[in-house]
Amino acid sequence: MPQVGIQNLLEAGVHFGHQTSRWNPNMRRHIAGELDGIHIIDLEQTVEMLEAARVFTGELTSGGGKVLFVGTKKQASDVVQTWAEKSNMPYVNRRWLPGLLTNFNISSNHIKRLHELTELTESGQIDLLPTKERMNMQAELAKLEFALGGVRDMDRVPDAVFILDLKSEEIALREATRLRLPIIALVDSNCDPGNIDYVIPGNDDAIRSCELVISTVGGAVEEGAGAWKVIEEKRQAEEQARREKEAEERRKREEEDKARREVLEKERAEQEAKAKAEARAEAEKNAAAAAAAPPKPPAPKPHPQAVPDDAPHPQAVAEDAPHPQAVAEDAPHPQAVPDDAPHPQAVAEETTEEKADEPAEAAVAAEEESK
């Protein structure tokens, strides 16, 4: 997009500021003078700063960055939506949801819920629900669509924020400042440019002024996003080609391995068949040799009553055995008594004498005690 000149800014009324009584002293360096109680903005600075913002956003988006467009004013909401959708960027043009950036985890849950309700509506499943539940879901969908319709595809915190009116978007400005995100803003004479990284001095109330600034920044964003899209498509094509090449190489290796295995299996089968054939031929050869040899005479069977030559004669074995009577003679007689054993009558007499002597000894002992 060609650079915007001073004549374009004059025709759009970008040079008109607010009344002198409502100005912000921090905007003094961007004010060229006053006319009929209205500050006149220095358009030379506006041209330079607008070009700097355009270059920054173009470089940012050409590298895959995201810029969040914020403009909830009635005269700018449609233009914000148009240019944001052209460049496929998130935008807020109706109402800023507090915590959209600083509590993005919660905001992402709301965005997820918005997608779920949208899917139910588009598929027609919401019509199958009870009337009360269906009406509640439709009301919830309308509320989420109003607040988050422009950021439904924002899956992360943006890389920069473009704000159209600092007075109307104070919450967005505070959240972006807290997260230290680069801020591009159209700053009127009644605003403070202190926290703005890329200040664009100009009228933020006139429709034509807002359209010119948004179209300039949005055109740079669109060009950068288009360049990134080309780069991304090229990268994806290269990645796809690399994957296809790897798949083709893998397929070739698999075919080679398969052919190698088939050759090895064929060789193994041939070797096994050869070994079986050799074994079969050897067996046939042995069988033929056995059939050609003369038969051996049968061995004589032994006579059942024949006795081996070295076996002893039965009568000789009986003669060697001792006679039973001879064995009995050597054994002691059961009634024999040992020579040194005492005679039974002598033992009985000795016992009788011992019993007769016992009373006499007792009487002698009694007399001695009486004395």
Instruction: Report residue 357 as tokens.
Output: 């002597």
CATH number at residue 16: 3.40.50.10490
Domain containing 33 equals 6-234
Band of residue 73 on the pLDDT scale cut at 50, 70, 90 = confident
In this prediction, residues 254-275 reach a mean pLDDT of 88
In a domain, 122, yes or no: yes
Q: Say which residue the tokens 């004013």 belong to.
A: 73
Is pLDDT above 50 for 356? no
CB 85 within 8 A of CB 222: no
In a domain, 301, yes or no: no
Band of residue 331 on the pLDDT scale cut at 50, 70, 90 = very low
In a domain, 81, yes or no: yes
Ranges 11-15, 73-77, 85-89, 337-341: which has the least confidence: 337-341
In a domain, 328, yes or no: no
Q: pLDDT tens digits for 79-102?
A: 899 989 988 899 999 889 899 999
How many H-runs (helices) and E-runs (strands) does the chain carry? 10, 8
Q: How many domains does the chain have?
A: 1
Cα 64–Cα 69–Cα 72 angle in degrees, nearest 5:
165
Residues paired with residue 34 on neighbouring β-strands, in sequence order: 39
Which residue, among 191, 157, 192, 190, has the nearest Cα to 176 in the 3D structure? 157
In this prediction, residues 180-209 reach a mean pLDDT of 91
In a domain, 176, yes or no: yes
Which residue, among 85, 67, 68, 65, has the nearest Cα to 227 in the 3D structure? 65
* Amino acid found at 53: A
In a domain, 367, yes or no: no
Cβ neighbours of residue 49 under 8 Å, at least 6 residues apart? 198, 199, 200, 201
Which residue, among 68, 81, 91, 76, has the nearest Cα to 205 in the 3D structure? 76
Is pLDDT above 60 for 244? yes
In a domain, 213, yes or no: yes
What percent of the chain clears pLDDT 70, i.e. is strictly above it?
Answer: 78
In this prediction, residues 246-270 reach a mean pLDDT of 88
296 or 42, greater pLDDT: 42
Give the integer Cα–Cα distance in Å for 196 and 183. Answer: 5
Phi, psi of 132 (to 5 degrees): -65, -45
Band of residue 157 on the pLDDT scale cut at 50, 70, 90 = very high
Instruction: Report residue 132 as tokens.
Output: 């009360």
Band of residue 136 on the pLDDT scale cut at 50, 70, 90 = very high
Q: Indicate the average pLDDT of the chain.
A: 81
In a domain, 357, yes or no: no
Is pLDDT above 70 for 321? no
